[in-house]
Amino acid sequence: MPIPKPRNGESKDKFISRCMADSHMNSSFSDQEQRSAVCFAQWKKKNASKSIDRVIFNLESYIAKSNVEAKISVNKRIGVLQAIKKTVEDLIVFKVKALPIGSKKVHSDGKTYVKVSEDKWVVDTEAGKQKNNTSDADSGANKKDEDPRDKDLTPEQKKVLDGFKRKAPGEGVNKQIDTKEDLDLVLSHGNFAMISAGRNPNIPEDKDLTDDQINQRTQKMREQLISSGYVFTEGVGNYGGIEESFLVMVHDADDEELFNMGKEYNQDSVLFVDHGESKLVKTTGENAGNIIMEGSGHGYVPEADDYYTAISAGSENIKFSMNLSDVVGEIPYRFKNKKKEESSVKQE
């Protein structure tokens, strides 16, 4: 079935939402990342060909009031432009970097191509050779970069975690966790932050914000995460408040960037979790920059009315909490990049 096309006057966000929800797209592209890439490519395709369409329209208008010889000349130009338009559309679809390595696509030349690296597609018959030439080097690099805490994970589990890796700027996405087993994997082996854009009762200017203003602030945070390339999972939680509030689990988190985002949105604190080790860090107020709670591991709390986070995993709505205890004294939080810098200085 054909891929949905943007309608006249339809905004980018509305088209992407409609394209992602399309039943034929879901059956043809079951992988959410691949489906998202195809939808974004379709949007880019529309905008790229628009300027060429305008030139063709102007030429056709000129033909309507020209002599026979002029019409023949201009018709040739239109033919060339239409060929260029087709080539531009093919290039745009082929340049979608979000498509995973191993994806196949039939080009307009009738040949099937396979993606073997971020910027390279080869004819299908050459794919095996290309992949074999790089597989040894790639596997060596992967082993070197692998966190020793993940050494016992299966390839399937590593693939799940890879699906939450940070993407290129502008390609961030709200990604649902598929199963409770996947959620357990993320909580135990993921690197994520829990952040919100909700109302902070300890900040005077926040007290007078309306629900609409809070919703606008939340939407701004979503757009900022997408712009920064983050994969994030939306949920709700209650931590000593009167009612549930919107929360975001931001995967593959840069702790310094998310700390500053917490300050920007007047949040009391941000929770950082790396392989089940949790640190709750104050972002505003008297102890900003200090760890106020920390702990290890997590638990499921289906009956909880307070101190929980709820996230949808498949058809289930699962409540959980990270195991946290109060910290005695003032313990400044050290950002991971600064730890790496200090480590490299010591080694030198």
Question: What pLDDT, in 10s, does the model give residues 267-304?
Answer: 999 999 999 999 999 999 888 999 999 999 999 999 98
Boundary of a domain, candidates 57, 78, 100: 100
pLDDT 10s digits, 46-95: 665 555 555 555 555 555 545 545 555 655 665 656 665 555 555 444 44
Asked if the structure places residue 27 within a domain, the reply is yes
Count how many domains the chain has.
2
Q: How far apart are CA 143 and CA 80, in angstroms?
A: 50
More confident residue, 194 or 146: 194
CA distances in angstroms from 159 to 33, 155, 294, listed in the order given: 13, 6, 28
Asked if the structure places residue 232 within a domain, the reply is yes
Q: Counting every residue, how long is the chain?
A: 348
Backbone angles phi, psi at 203, to 5 degrees: -110, 120
pLDDT 10s digits, 19-30: 888 888 887 777
CA distances in angstroms from 180 to 35, 83, 300, listed in the order given: 23, 50, 10
Q: What was the pLDDT predicted at 137?
A: 47
Q: How many Cβ atoms sit within 10 Å of the Cβ of residue 19?
A: 20
Q: Which pTM value belongs to this model?
A: 0.58
Give the residue from 148, 152, 157, 115 showing the smallest Cα distance to 134: 115
Q: Specify whether 230 is located in the same domain as 317.
A: yes
Which residues, in sequence order, are CB contacts of 59 under 8 Å at separation 6+?
74, 77, 78, 81
Q: How far apart are CA 256 and CA 341, in angstroms?
A: 14
Rg of the chain, C-alpha, whole Å: 25
Boundary of a domain, candidates 71, 100, 129: 100
pLDDT 10s digits, 120-171: 666 766 544 444 554 444 444 455 567 888 989 999 999 999 999 999 988 9
Q: Specify whether 168 is located in the same domain as 87.
A: no
Cβ atoms of 233 and 174 within 8 Å: the answer is yes
Q: Specify whether 164 is located in the same domain as 96.
A: no
Give the residue from 311, 199, 200 showing the smallest Cα distance to 251: 311
Asked if the structure places residue 112 within a domain, the reply is no
Q: Specify whether 314 is located in the same domain as 239.
A: yes
Q: What was the pLDDT predicted at 69?
A: 53
Q: Specify whether 93 is located in the same domain as 165.
A: no
Q: Specify whether 191 is located in the same domain as 338.
A: yes
Boundary of a domain, candidates 64, 81, 100: 100
Asked if the structure places residue 148 within a domain, the reply is no
Asked if the structure places residue 183 within a domain, the reply is yes
State the chain's maximal CA–CA distance in angstroms. Answer: 90
Q: What was the pLDDT predicted at 23?
A: 82
Which residues, in sequence order, are CB contacts of 146 under 8 Å at separation 6+?
none
Cβ atoms of 172 and 227 within 8 Å: the answer is yes
Domain of 38 in residue numbering reads as 12-100
Q: Specify whether 189 is located in the same domain as 306.
A: yes
Q: Specify whether 82 is located in the same domain as 184.
A: no
Cβ atoms of 320 and 327 within 8 Å: the answer is no
